[in-house]
Structure 1
């Protein structure tokens, strides 16, 4: 029997709350958002457990998903106790430049308080997990798949399989941080409502030969946008919009696409294996019910174009941490998440609208549409509007 099983052996569905080990919170999912929430709960001294289906983190060989850490996300990481280390390891993106056919359409310089930091998601998750290892009241258990949640009125019982052994954990509250295909979202019967914005992209990381190690480069070309962002270690991420996933996807294919659209090249020998993905958008309704709440990708799927999803999830965690602390301190009624549901759904809807706008701006365009788009970019780059654009780009509205 594992440590998690031993801790929960008495927590059977029929046990009285006073006779079983009672957790304050069970967090389902040990991704970037679930780990950050767990670190916040640990700082409050709350008793929590994180259950993760995977036996190990994603291997380092796979391309990291998100890299952009916006100011609200950095504040959340600081609250979790890893902000200084993130700053030390990350590359600062100080400005951005938009071009088309080799001509600059606009520039944007971020103020010191609004700079974006670039650090691969897997490195951030490793820092959060290291921080969690030091916690006395919160533990992480891998290889555990949640199969059900029973509401006992005064508490929940979370049912799971721990490497083939049944596991039952009692908790005051549960949080689904288990990603886009969230099982917790299904268990609480939340709708997964599609939102506008869908497009396909290819992505590749390689050595940065642009000569702009602190600049985000956006090429709004007629065949579709090509974006590139600095990464730690002298690396750069390239992302290109495509009509459909290429039949042959390798670094050479992405490099050929980038060169055809922008005239820039990159070293394919130094590149990671590229990936293709479809950006889609959904928002859960509700994001909380009874004693169960959703955070991060379990609550909302946001297009990664613009780097909003992970940061929005961290903001969810900060808000939910406060709600949980207040509920546990005051023995609040089980509808304590009503305000969280309203505020985070509103934030997610704002994020989907901004992401949909970003995707429209990066769509293939020719003729009048291309000229109109380029004119709009020039207008947005005027001094009077740069501040508004900068706040939107760096998610200061969170």
Structure 2
């Protein structure tokens, strides 16, 4: 067990949302001491529940939950919530005959159009490719896991200031001071950590104010259910009173004025073009398409992840997946750095890999906004996209982007599998590799034992698990090295080259006292 002063933590995390909680658990897999500070007194909020709290989990997020043994619990808890009638209103797209797989600016693509043969390196997995879930469900599971692993969570403490030195960071919150070797801001789009550390935050200003409201209507039949584009904006309606709408006002109303029944009714009348009457405002929140990203994800001992590092509109539901991907990527790298066995540039690879992914998601969000503008030329362009998305190639393209299947880190290896989330290989004993990654260590799979790599890998046995077994489908490979986050670091199609393998191990797991020189 690692030892530390009772008042000093290895890592202090600001924010007990899904990203902060997931990161905390990732660090605890390596016995890193973690304190999480959260501004909110209570983890519960109506905005985290359905319908407003609904999020779509991508294939890569589901991969991560599967690899850490969390997926079954998440699925079971969401089913319990649905069975208990907490689903509120049914989304407008659920009543369709075809099974919707996602959307781009409200233009849906369907599962029956997706050609999964285009993804030869994605094998069948319990994780699947997408899942709808309430934020509250995911957060509850992640908090339970974090606490069970020894993460300390302090609620009702808002970070006021930080002071970073060469060896530690002091965090001032709620009149108290907490000290950590590192601090990670996972505290959302208005991140106190980002502001206190003066990260540069650049991007594009909003074009609209978005509203998500739960209301009572004088006549619930006065609006047609579904998504509608109008000359002044867009709205979706699910009976009896769940409405999302956007008004292209430059985002001037967001967090500026109180949201009243009269204001919501006026906006809905303008956007819908109907003389609708609202009798009660039960719940309301606003959002915009502001898209900003920090120019760096690290300043000394201060790091950012999730919305603290990048914000964009919620269109397409990419934000949660992006943040959880940050946490999965950062956790093992920061832990290895703290342990002292990391390669010198390992922590730098967090920004190198994740910053481009964030930039792509921001552009994906901006492109959707461009298709929503209430202009004649935009409607013409949307018609073209609608035709394309209905084709097999089009649906497949949008699915791989929305589900994250196309994500590949540039690891300097030509093999098309390198840098991708690993296929869920099924070994001959029926086990799948997802269950082999629950301890947060790397994994070496050797399907062909004609030239064993076990002796070489033993130099990294504290960081890498060695498994020698054939697989039911090995995809033409003889050996695969996976990083702790489940991404492929090295592959061999023929007899493995010990020297190349040792180079890959050293690059991702640092030097070995007894193995590097033997290659």
- TM-score bracket, normalised by the shorter chain, equals 0.7 to 0.9
- Separation in structure 1 between the aligned mates of residue 242 and residue 399 of structure 2, nearest angstrom: 21
Specify which structure has the higher proportion of strand.
Answer: 1
Match in the other structure for 2:41: 55
> Contact between 1:71 and 1:114, CA under 8 Å: does it hold in 2?
yes
The residue aligned with 1:10 is none
Larger Rg: 2
Alpha carbons 2:184, 2:303 under 8 Å: kept = yes
The CA distance in 1 between the partners of 2:394 and 2:187, in whole Å, is 38
Deviates more, 1:33-42 or 1:290-299: 33-42
Provide the residue aligned with 1:9 in structure 2: none
Q: Which residue of 1 is the match for residue 18 of structure 2? A: 32
**1:394/1:256 CA distance change after superposition, 3 Å:** farther
Q: CA deviation at 1:396?
A: 2.8
Comparing 306-315 with 74-83, greater Cα deviation is found at: 74-83
Which runs of structure 2 are paired with 1:329-340 in the superposition (5 Å)?
Answer: 329-330=339-340, 332=342, 336-340=346-350
Q: Could you tell me how far 1:336 is from its partner in structure 2? A: 5.0
Q: Whole-Å Cα distance in 2 between the matches of residues 310 and 99 of structure 1?
A: 17
Match of 2:100 in 1: 95
236-245 vs 42-51, greater mean Cα deviation:
236-245
Shift, 1:109, TM fit: 1.7
The structure-2 alpha-carbon separation of the partners of 1:353 and 1:99, relative to structure 1 and needing over 3 Å to count, comes to closer
1:67 corresponding residue in structure 2 = 55
* Structure 2 segments unaligned to the other structure (5+ residues): 83-90, 115-123, 217-224, 254-258, 408-519
Q: Is 1:282 the counterpart of 2:282 in the alignment?
A: no
Is the counterpart of residue 116 in structure 1 residue 168 in structure 2?
Answer: no
Paired residues of 2:48 and 2:54 also in contact (CA < 8 A): no
After superposing the two structures, state which structure 1 stretch, 62-71 or 314-323, moved more. 62-71
Structure 1 position 358 matched with structure 2 position 362: no
Residue 384 of structure 1, aligned match among 374, 393, 401: 393
Counterparts in 2 of 1:360 and 1:172: CA distance versus 1, 3 Å: same
**Is the 8 Å Cα contact of residues 333 and 342 (structure 2) preserved in structure 1?**
no
Instruction: Report the CA distance shift for 1:18/1:50 in structure 2 as closer, same or farther (over 3 A).
Output: closer
Partner of 1:13: none
Give SS of 1:363's match.
Answer: coil
CA distance in 2 between counterparts of 1:269 and 1:84 reads 42
Q: What's the RMSD between the two structures over aligned residues?
A: 3.9
For 1:336-347, list aligned pairs within 5 A. 336-347=346-357
Determine if contact 2:212/2:286 at 8 Å carries over to the other structure: yes
Unmatched segments (≥5 aa) in structure 1? 1-16, 208-215
Match of 1:167 among 177, 180, 183: 177
**Aligned positions of 1:91-240 closer than 5 A:** 94-96=99-101, 107-109=109-111, 115-136=129-150, 138-153=151-166, 155-162=167-174, 164=175, 166-169=176-179, 171-195=180-204, 198-204=207-213, 218-227=227-236, 238-240=243-245
Structure with the bigger RCO (C-alpha within 8 Å, sep 6+) is 1
2:247 alignment partner in structure 1: 242
